[in-house]
Amino acid sequence: MSQTLYLKYRPQKFDELIGQNPIKLTLQNEISNNNIAHAYLFSGPRGTGKTTVARLLAKSLNCFNIKETEYEPCGECLSCQEIKSGRSLDLIEIDAASHTGVENVRENIIDNVRFTPYRDKYKIFIIDEVHMLTIFAFNALLKTLEEPPEHVVFILCTTELYKLPETIVSRCQRFDFKKVDLNILSDHLAKISQLEKIKIDKEVVKRIAFNSGGFVRDALSVLGQVLSLGKKEITTKDVLSILPRSDFEMVVSLVDFLIKKDIRRAMELVNKLVEEGVDLEQFNLDLIDYLRRLLLIKFKVDISSIEPQDKILDQAEKVSVQDLSQMLNIFINKVYALKTAEIVQLPLEMAIIEICQDKKLETINQKLEIKNKEIKKVERRKEENKENTDEKFKYKNADITLQDIIDRWQDVIICSRESNHSIALALQTGYPICLDKNNLEIAFEHSFYSERFKEIKMRNLISDILKKVFNCDLIVRCSTMAADKKAEVKQKRDKQNLKSEQEINNLAEQFSGKIVD
């Protein structure tokens, strides 16, 4: 029987490990400096190398030939060979998913801890899916984990860190594994294809990496299916029928439906996920991560590692920052509901309804664009008619009031667009709440923005924009809007928007014009 690619190319040395550099470097330093912890906790998504690194660490700790300042296991000694083949008596691997009870912990761990290693330096326990242990099993493990003998090292692995008691987590040295960057994963797949002497189209490995969502094991599993076609040269066309439609693609599709406010198709997609056995909790977390990336794009943060570029950039153009912020809040609020829901898809269905039927999520940019067009028309008429001057908009620091700023806050947003579009997007969620002499406090609905604008450089940019609008010097302070203040601000905004619309209608009537979308 041929060996699967994941097992065949499982890293046997730290230098062969991909995508987890911070973890790799830390462990290498600890091994070479002989600064070994008594308990490690490896957490992160499936297929990212937790168990692989646990075995690498075990090999390095018990390698016969490793020198004092080295960190790589030799791979040749008896200990390394036994660990590789799963025959080591001093490496005890326990699947907590099938050994959940307190008796299993006593029998497999507590009773074994008392005995010195059979031959190697350390007796090492790798407990996979440790979150599956019962609370009584954790309690039984706690004392041993807190004060283990010097010859014992624990390595706990989990995909669901939040299920572990804090008493367990606090007694371990924790490492968080991440999904692998798609470019790094693509290069890894291409290298394996070369080793297998198969010529594979560059687009194929990119597509496999993208479909895997950054999970190495999933990517190698699909690559194995592709290579099983038995061809010496493989193109994108050859593998379209093999590549599964990834959950990540479903995330992208759902976001498309939410932007279009297509409730029916969004609901159908969620129910299809249930039919296909997709883990909705993980899907929701992937969805939150994708929406976060869209938000980063709105602020021009580099997302070069995300594929496909054209799709995510296209979606970013069609949705506003406020829409994304509210979508994120809604799906974040569904994280707990998905854990306890009797009808598994109901929380996501309710989220879809909240997003698609909430009139507050009508794109603000469309409204602003309409208002902006009318304001520009009026400004052009003012320039043509020299009798209409801007004297009423020129202030002295002593004369300007908070209400003056509130009344013309829309002008501040429009003016900021000319300087920096991302500032304009952020100021849409801000509101002036206090003016003390020449100190203006702006409160933002989300702490993300208030923290960003606490930087002196950003505050100076806002001060410059305010000076252009009000012709006076103002020092800006930024804060996060309190919950009770949000409702009050919303009421003021609605009132102000109504007033602005009335003014535009009056201007249109005065100049015998009409408002167009």
- Whole-model pTM: value is 0.55
Bin 201: left if φ > 0, else alpha if -120 < ψ < 50, else beta: beta
Q: Which residues pair with 41 in a beta bridge?
A: 156, 174
pLDDT of residue 360: 45
Mean pLDDT, residues 239-251 taken together: 69
Name which CATH class applies to 247-361.
Answer: mainly alpha
For residue 86, the Cα-to-chain-centroid distance in whole angstroms is 36
pLDDT band at 399 (very low <50, low <70, confident <90, very high): confident
Fold of 5-176: Rossmann fold (3.40.50)
CATH code of the domain made up of 182-239: 1.10.8.60
pLDDT higher than threshold 80 for residue 182: yes
pLDDT at 144: 87
Confidence tier at 38 by pLDDT (50, 70, 90)? very high
Mean pLDDT of 24-51: 93
Domain ranges within the chain, ordered by starting residue = 5-176, 182-239, 247-361, 364-510
Query: Average pLDDT for residues 52-67, to the nearest whole number?
Result: 94
Joined tokens for residue 256: 């498309």
pLDDT above 80 (res 76): yes
- The per-residue pLDDT for range 305-319, each reduced to its tens digit, is 444 556 788 888 889
**pLDDT of amino acid 383:** 60
Mean pLDDT (the chain) is: 82
Looking at residue 364, what is its pLDDT? 46
Measure the CA–CA gap between 355 and 367, rounded to whole angstroms: 18
Q: Which band of pLDDT confidence, cut at 50, 70 and 90, is reported for residue 498?
A: low
Q: Let me know the angle formed at the C-alpha of 265 by 262 and 271, rounded to the nearest 5 degrees.
A: 135
In one-letter notation, the amino acid at residue 193 is S
Q: What is the pLDDT of residue 302?
A: 64
Helices marked H in 420-515 — which ranges? 421-427, 447-452, 456-470, 483-510
User: Per mean pLDDT, which of 23-27, 105-109, 499-503, 505-509 is the most reliable?
Assistant: 23-27
Q: Which two tokens stand for residue 369?
A: 């664009």
Please give the pLDDT value at position 361: 45
- CA 356 vs CA 68, 285, 291: distances in Å: 62, 20, 16
Average of per-residue pLDDT across 368-387: 58
Q: How is domain 364-510 classified at the CATH fold level?
A: GMP Synthetase; Chain A, domain 3 (3.30.300)
Three-state SS string over 441-463 comes to EEEECCHHHHHHCCCHHHHHHHH
| pLDDT higher than threshold 90 for residue 348 | yes
